[in-house]
Amino acid sequence: MKIRTTEKIRYEVIVLESFTYRGKTRNKPHRVGTALPSVKGGLVVFIPPGISITGRVLIVPEKTPLDEIDLIEAYESAADEHGV
């Protein structure tokens, strides 16, 4: 039996843009949507109209204070785990 709670965890959908600045590769996060857990399992992802997404997408809990290094590590570890 599943217990339903009134408070759902919200997630941010993030895409990282890689660029070079002063000879170093940098990454800039772009928030492209939100996600909520589905009562049947998985996530329901909301992408606003007009936003096109390609490549890898990172989904992290909302209001998680992640700096650039944290985002890169989370992104890379997810890619490594799934062999991408």
Q: What is the pLDDT of residue 7?
A: 58
Q: Where are the domains of the chain?
A: 11-81
Q: What is the pLDDT of residue 48?
A: 92
Q: What is the pLDDT of residue 3?
A: 47
Specify whether the CB–CB gap between 17 and 30 falls below 8 A.
Answer: yes
Measured CA to CA in angstroms, residue 47 lies from 16, 35, 56, 83 at distances of 16, 9, 15, 25
Q: Is 44 helix (H, G, I), strand (E, B) or coil?
A: strand
Q: What is the C-alpha to C-alpha distance for residues 83 and 71, in angstroms, rounded to an integer?
A: 18
pLDDT per residue, tens digit, the chain (84 aa), is 454 554 578 899 988 888 888 888 887 888 899 999 988 889 999 999 999 988 888 888 887 666 666 766 776 766 666 555
The amino acid sitting at 27 is N
0.85 cut: is pTM over it? no
